[in-house]
């Protein structure tokens, strides 16, 4: 046990979540900062793409073993699962951190800039892993008094597995990570450049979008460009389809329901004077409610069917890489928001708007309740404001400390609330 934990250890017979203990947790996390920074910079300098996280996995597993946790590797390819059994009876909860980087060439000249050309932690997963490991270290230091078991899930391939491969949360669940031991609630976070470091944002209910990637193929009939009456022009039909698809947002979906449909690619035709036989379009549909999601997908089929039939063309519509919205069960979210406020200061736990990016954390929440929050990482004064998935993205490392404080407190409060020896509480 590192010396910083001894003080905490002696205090633990007091209630885990009491104010004095909270002050101690915050102090320990602050003292951990140099090591958190070092770890995050190491991950940042060595980013690896989805399902290729070999080195990352090795570093994570080594750190967890050094804390005395039971560690399993090779889960969902390069995933790592570590179990921390507390000394007191209580529930089993999980903390999830994702591990993969993106195919982005990092801009700027940070001293810990990516050493892998064309690969970058542009989604901040280096920060997620660091916070996961910091939280594991904090909780391992309280093992004897811990009321329950904490499973740390280090998940590869959140950004999506390469074509033809399976990965991410889907494979982690398929390989039994929520079943052995049986987890009853899961916690996760995503760094958020729209919030200043030291703050956390939460959304009760649907917090991030359901995603449906789609590809559309329009089949026409080839003909000479000077004799269109002899063919079916797939480009003209595709153009009508594309415009008509936007009427789903404007005319089919309730205006107060979030939904966006984007066609991001279009390819078709072979020559300037030949009617295109085939056009392919690729896009993404994002929604927050299952009702809007179903309505939108049905409307897409109806529009494609009607427009192509009107012109004597045919179509194929294929959805892939779909997953549901990140959904924070409202009562759990409100309790967790209180824990975040305790850890970061009540003014720093903010209810925010949902975000139409997607996260495969949603898949865990299809199995068990979970809470997913946004961790502020911006520092406007220092110019750290670049969005996620850009070559300029960076985070204020003070946020790593806030993340460890927040995640540790969330877990401790949940265990305290739900353990068999929890004090009787009045309903909120
Ligand atoms: Zn991302
Ligand atoms: Zn991400």
Percent of the chain with pLDDT over 70: 94
Residue range(s) occupied by CATH 3.40.630.10 in the chain: 4-209+325-418
To which H or E segment does residue 259 belong? strand 259-268
How remote is the CA of residue 124 from the centroid of ligand 2, in Å?
6
Structure tokens at 196: 């200043």
pLDDT band at 53 (very low <50, low <70, confident <90, very high): very high
Scored b (16 or more CB within 10 A) or e, 362-386 reads: bbbbeebebbbbbbbbbbeeeebbb
The 3 state secondary structure assigned to 314-327 is EEEEEEEEEECCEE
Q: Based on the number of CB atoms within 10 Å of its own CB, is 329 exposed (0-12), middle (13-18) or buried (19 or more)? A: middle
Q: Which CATH number fits domain 4-209+325-418: 2.40.40.20, 3.40.630.10, 1.20.1090.10, 3.50.50.60?
A: 3.40.630.10
Tell me the average pLDDT across 367-378.
98
How remote is the CA of residue 160 from the centroid of ligand 1, in Å?
9
pLDDT of residue 17: 52
Alpha carbon distance 363, 211 (integer Å): 12
Asked if residues 285 and 216 have their Cβ atoms less than 8 Å apart, the reply is no
pLDDT band at 321 (very low <50, low <70, confident <90, very high): confident
Give the tens place of pLDDT for each residue, 81-104: 999 999 999 999 999 999 999 999
How many helices (H) and strands (E) would you count in the chain? 11, 14
Domain 212-323 has CATH 3.20.20.60: no
Give the tens place of pLDDT for each residue, 98-127: 999 999 999 999 999 999 999 999 999 999
CA distances from 242 to 171, 245, 268, 301, 318 (A): 34, 5, 14, 12, 16
pLDDT band at 423 (very low <50, low <70, confident <90, very high): low
Structure tokens at 36: 């958190």
How remote is the CA of residue 420 from the centroid of ligand 2, in Å?
35
Name the closest ligand to CA 189: 2
pLDDT of residue 426: 41
How remote is the CA of residue 119 from the centroid of ligand 2, in Å?
14
* Strand 210-219 versus strand 314-323 pairing type: antiparallel
Alpha carbon distance 175, 11 (integer Å): 38
Q: Cis before residue 154, ω within 30 degrees of 0? A: no
pLDDT of residue 339: 98
pLDDT of residue 4: 44
Give the tens place of pLDDT for each residue, 273-304: 999 999 999 999 999 999 999 999 999 999 99
pLDDT at 350 > cutoff 90 = yes
How remote is the CA of residue 125 from the centroid of ligand 2, in Å?
6
How remote is the CA of residue 44 from the centroid of ligand 1, in Å?
15
Name the closest ligand to CA 389: 1
The residues annotated as belonging to the active site are 100, 158
How remote is the CA of residue 329 from the centroid of ligand 2, in Å?
21
What's the pTM? 0.90
Identify which of 61, 186, 212, 44 has the alpha carbon closest to the alpha carbon of residue 125: 44
pLDDT at 357 > cutoff 90 = yes
Name the closest ligand to CA 374: 2
Residue range(s) occupied by CATH 3.30.70.360 in the chain: 212-323
The residues, ordered by sequence, that sit 6+ positions from 193 with a Cβ below 8 Å of its Cβ are 377, 378, 384, 385, 386, 387, 388, 393, 395
How remote is the CA of residue 306 from the centroid of ligand 1, in Å?
36
Longest dimension (CA), the chain: 88
Tell me the average pLDDT across 24-53.
97
Structure tokens at 123: 């989604």
């Amino acid at each position: 046990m590192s010396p910083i934990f001894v003080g905490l250890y002696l205090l633990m017979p007091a209630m885990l979540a009491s104010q004095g203990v909270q002050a101690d947790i915050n102090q320990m996390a602050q003292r951990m900062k140099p090591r958190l920074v070092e770890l995050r910079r190491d991950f940042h300098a060595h980013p690896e793409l989805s399902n290729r996280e070999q080195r990352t996995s090795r570093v994570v597993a080594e750190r967890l073993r050094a804390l005395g946790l039971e560690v399993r590797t090779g889960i969902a390819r390069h995933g790592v699962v570590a179990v921390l059994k507390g000394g007191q009876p209580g529930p089993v909860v999980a903390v999830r951190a994702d591990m993969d980087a993106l195919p982005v060439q990092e801009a700027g000249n940070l001293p810990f800039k990516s050493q892998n050309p064309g690969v970058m932690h542009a989604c901040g997963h280096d920060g997620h892993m660091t916070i996961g490991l910091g939280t594991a270290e904090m909780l391992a230091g309280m093992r004897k008094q811990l009321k329950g078991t904490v499973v740390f899930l280090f998940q590869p391939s959140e950004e999506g597995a390469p074509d033809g491969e399976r990965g991410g949360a889907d494979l982690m669940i398929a390989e039994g990570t929520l079943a052995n031991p049986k987890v009853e609630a899961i916690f996760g976070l995503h760094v958020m450049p729209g919030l200043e470091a030291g703050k956390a944002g939460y959304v009760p209910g649907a917090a991030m979008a359901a995603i449906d990637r789609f590809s559309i193929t329009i089949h026409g009939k080839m003909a000479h460009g000077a004799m269109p009456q002899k063919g079916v022009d797939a480009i003209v039909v595709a153009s009508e389809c594309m415009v008509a698809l936007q009427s789903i947002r404007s005319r089919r979906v309730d205006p107060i329901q979030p939904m966006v449909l984007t066609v991001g690619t279009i390819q078709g035709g072979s020559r300037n004077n030949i009617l295109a036989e085939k056009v392919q379009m690729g896009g993404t549909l994002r929604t927050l409610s299952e009702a809007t999601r179903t309505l939108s997908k049905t409307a897409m089929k109806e529009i494609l069917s009607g427009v192509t039939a009107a012109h004597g063309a045919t179509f194929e519509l294929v959805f892939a890489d779909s997953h549901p919205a990140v959904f924070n069960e409202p009562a759990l979210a409100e309790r967790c928001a209180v824990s975040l406020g305790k850890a970061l200061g009540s003014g720093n736990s903010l209810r925010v708007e949902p975000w139409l990016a997607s996260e495969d954390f949603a898949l865990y929440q299809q199995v068990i309740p979970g809470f997913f929050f946004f961790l502020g990482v911006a520092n406007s004064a220092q110019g750290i404001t670049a969005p996620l998935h850009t070559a300029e993205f960076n985070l204020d490392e003070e946020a790593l400390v806030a993340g460890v404080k927040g995640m540790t407190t969330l877990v401790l409060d949940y265990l305290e609330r739900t353990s068999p020896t929890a004090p009787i509480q009045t309903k909120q």
